[in-house]
Amino acid sequence: MIVVSTSYTDLPLARWRPHAAVLAFGAFAVGTDGFVVAGLLPAIAASLHVTVAAAGQLVTVFAIAYAVSAPVLAALTTSWPRRRVLVTALALFAAGNAVTALASGYGLVLASRVIAGAGAAMFTATATATAALLAGERQRGRAISTVILGATSSLVLGAPLGTVVGGLLDWRVTMWAVTALGLLAAPAIALRLPAVHGGGKGGLQAFLAPLRDRRIVAVLATTVVAFVAVYIPYAYISQIFAPAAPDGSTLAVLLLVFGLSGTAGNLTAGRLADRYGPRRVVVTVMLALAVALVLTPLGRDVFAAAVAAVVVIGFLSFSITAPQQHLVITMAGPGAGTVTALYQSALYLAVSLSGAAGAIGLEWQGPASLPWLAAPLAAAAAALTAVASRRLPR
């Protein structure tokens, strides 16, 4: 059995890619669950005899459970072997989705989304930190981007397919399919992943340790700012490009293009982070995104121009995820498991804030102004990243 130390100065595992691919498959299952429910809301509402707005709270509850439980579960399990954490997370995730598929009442379905969200948070944070550890410092960005590829693939493939299955058969069939994905990933991780140890003490001390480092706190705060800038245009893409994509089919094309260009951006950024350093990549990407967002309203009336704008925005939006995690993992060292969980919480906080900020901008200035609302935040994230990763003391 291969045992990999938690020390970031040790030699990396020679063949980390197959293990990162297994972790990416688990991320695909988790990501599909996070995205697919939104496409099933009308069917869920009809089945449970509630309004679509009430059914929409399943998405909200999942996100809140994810954000709150990620750092807590990471702290409680930081001394566990990573393989045990990952398998336990997938078991929790599968159990939550199985209950969702079986439940006949709205209350139980809500509770099941809490369980699934906790399992998803526990898996994603641990998977990215484990892949980074297996690959070693020189290839850390590529390893993280491989795991993230599973999540972006769920946006491009998993969620649309799940929505189609739910429409043709039943939404519960889709939830069973998501459950099966989680169960398929668990034995592969249990049997194939090397023994990677957490190497730390659990509990409150593990939770608070990363928060004592001012650089890490600054990067987490920057993550919130950066992803509010990313998710405002994504959340309201249907409104921003309504003149060019007025119906469902044209909007679906834009969403597909966004997912595909985002996947390319993620893979490219992982390699660039390894070559040039994560700080430089994040600063460059966020500045480029700010410029792209300023120019976006110019292409909202013509479909070809809208596609071009979405290609650029999608590529840049997904180009910060791997470098940003690379940056915070490098700062955390052996505490990466907990800090990646805090990173996931920051990300989901940004998702919530972007919805509220976008709604205010939509109400006050209209959809054309939303990219201009996001652009200053992207520029601010670039400036904060430059400061947080270089000058702030521990």
Q: Give the model's pLDDT for residue 332.
A: 67
Decide if 109 contacts 40 (C-beta within 8 A).
no
Decide if 185 contacts 91 (C-beta within 8 A).
no
Higher pLDDT, 377 or 362: 377
- Cα 15 → chain centroid: 25
Model confidence at 336, pLDDT cuts 50, 70, 90, reads: low
Mean pLDDT confidence for 82-108: 92
Q: Give the model's pLDDT for residue 2.
A: 33
Q: Give the model's pLDDT for residue 95.
A: 96
Q: Give the model's pLDDT for residue 296.
A: 92
Model confidence at 224, pLDDT cuts 50, 70, 90, reads: very high
* Phi-psi domain of 366 (left: phi exceeds 0; alpha: psi -120 through 50; beta: other): left
Of the ranges 212-216, 269-273, 303-307, 353-357, the best mean pLDDT one: 303-307
Q: Give the model's pLDDT for residue 10.
A: 43
pLDDT (tens digit per residue) in 19-42: 778 888 888 888 888 777 766 777
User: Cα–Cα distance between 351 and 345 in angstroms, integer?
Assistant: 10
Closest CA to 100 of 151, 65, 148: 65
**At residue 394, does pLDDT exceed 60?**
no
Higher pLDDT, 285 or 248: 285
List the single range of 57-71, 82-96, 329-343 with lowest mean pLDDT: 329-343
Class of the CATH-defined domain 211-388 = mainly alpha
Q: Give the model's pLDDT for residue 205.
A: 61
Higher pLDDT, 180 or 190: 180
pLDDT (tens digit per residue) in 149-167: 877 777 777 766 776 777 7
**At residue 341, does pLDDT exceed 90?**
no
Distance in angstroms between the alpha carbons of the first and the last residue of the chain: 37
Q: Please, which residues have CB within 8 angstroms of residue 118's CB and are 6 or more apart in sequence?
A: 65, 66, 69, 73, 92, 96
User: Cα–Cα distance between 159 and 146 in angstroms, integer?
Assistant: 19
Decide if 335 contacts 211 (C-beta within 8 A).
no
The answer to pTM > 0.85 is no
pLDDT (tens digit per residue) in 53-67: 788 778 778 888 888
Q: What is the mean pLDDT of the chain?
A: 81
CATH number listed for the domain at residues 3-202: 1.20.1250.20
**At residue 393, does pLDDT exceed 60?**
no
User: Cα–Cα distance between 161 and 103 in angstroms, integer?
Assistant: 22
User: Cα–Cα distance between 176 and 226 in angstroms, integer?
Assistant: 34
Mean pLDDT confidence for 254-261: 83
List the single range of 145-149, 267-271, 277-281 with lowest mean pLDDT: 145-149
Residue ranges of domains in the chain = 3-202, 211-388
User: Cα–Cα distance between 346 and 119 in angstroms, integer?
Assistant: 17
Fold agreement between 3-202 and 211-388: yes
Higher pLDDT, 287 or 212: 287
Per DSSP, helices labelled H in the chain are 17-39, 41-48, 52-76, 82-102, 106-135, 140-153, 159-168, 171-192, 204-208, 214-235, 237-240, 248-276, 278-295, 303-317, 321-332, 336-365, 370-388
Q: Give the model's pLDDT for residue 206.
A: 57
Provide, rounded to the nearest whole percent, the portion of the chain with pLDDT above 90.
24
Mean pLDDT confidence for 118-147: 80
